[in-house]
């Protein structure tokens, strides 16, 4: 199906159907449509590269998980994700109130998840295409996370200025923070570093098991 293994095709179908369902009767239709431009481009890229550069099931699952998280956030254009209402219904308290937050931090979570979830797929693609020396795929993955984060912030700003200048602050999710873009990039890099540490720890455990 679409040149993808069955399990990956099913995951992609879940992503597409979930994004479509979450796009039903949106609060801010223009903003949500702009948020899903990267989603559509990523889905097309995954299909187009399926034969030339196939991904492992693990990497495809990580990408799918990030796309689902992004689709959820895009439903409320990040700024208005009602996680306080969710925690109040499930656990009887409002998370933001308990932690003393003055802004909606769901966008911060997604930027951290970008680095955490996409580090392994980026590293896998680089290792497969470039066949570099040991250690370089991880560096490349981290650099790509940082570069992609900066480019995304610039493209997001440009799109807001062109298509939605009157609601730019809402679409960009700054919530009055002039350093919002800087923090988003820093969190993505932090997520990538966390993934690198976790991957290194997992590799070390595998070596110990083999040696024993």
Q: Give the position of tokens 């020396």.
A: 133
For residue 72, is it within any domain?
Answer: yes
Q: Is residue 208 part of a domain?
A: no
CA distance 135 to 20: 39
Q: Give residue 56's pLDDT band: very low, low, confident or very high (50, 70, 90).
A: very high
The verdict on residue 205 lying in a domain is no
Q: Check residue 67 and give its pLDDT.
A: 97
- Taking residues 1-14, report their average pLDDT: 89
Res 101: pLDDT: 87
Domain of 81 in residue numbering reads as 6-200
Distance of CA 196 to the CA centre of its chain: 16
The total of structural domains in the chain comes to 1
- Angle at which helix 57-75 crosses helix 6-22, to 10 degrees, equals 0
Do the domain assignments include residue 1? no
* Per-residue pLDDT tens over the stretch 86-115: 999 999 999 999 998 888 899 999 999 999
Q: Does residue 211 form part of some domain? A: no
Both tokens of 38, joined, read 């990267």
Read off the tokens for 56.
């492992």
Residue 167 above 60 pLDDT?
no
Q: What pLDDT, on a 0 to 100 scale, did the predictor assign at position 179?
A: 78
């Amino acid at each position: 199906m679409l040149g993808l293994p069955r399990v990956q095709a099913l995951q992609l179908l879940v992503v597409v159907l979930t994004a479509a369902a979450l796009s039903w009767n949106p609060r801010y239709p223009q903003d949500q449509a702009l948020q899903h431009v990267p989603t559509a481009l990523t889905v097309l890229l995954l299909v187009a590269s399926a034969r030339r550069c196939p991904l492992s099931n693990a990497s495809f699952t990580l990408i799918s998980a990030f796309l689902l998280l992004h689709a959820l956030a895009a439903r409320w254009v990040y700024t208005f994700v009602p996680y306080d209402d969710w925690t109040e219904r499930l656990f009887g308290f409002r998370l933001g109130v308990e932690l003393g937050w003055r802004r909606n931090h769901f966008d911060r979570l997604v930027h951290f998840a970008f680095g955490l979830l996409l580090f392994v797929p980026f590293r896998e693609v680089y290792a497969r295409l470039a066949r570099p020396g040991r250690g370089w795929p991880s560096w490349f993955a981290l650099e790509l996370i940082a570069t992609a984060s900066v480019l995304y912030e610039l493209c997001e700003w440009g799109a807001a200025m062109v298509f939605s200048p009157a609601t730019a602050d809402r679409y960009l999710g700054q919530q009055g923070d002039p350093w919002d873009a800087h923090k988003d990039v820093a969190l993505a890099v932090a997520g990538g570093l966390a993934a690198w540490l976790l991957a290194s720890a997992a590799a070390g455990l595998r070596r110990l098991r083999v040696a024993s």
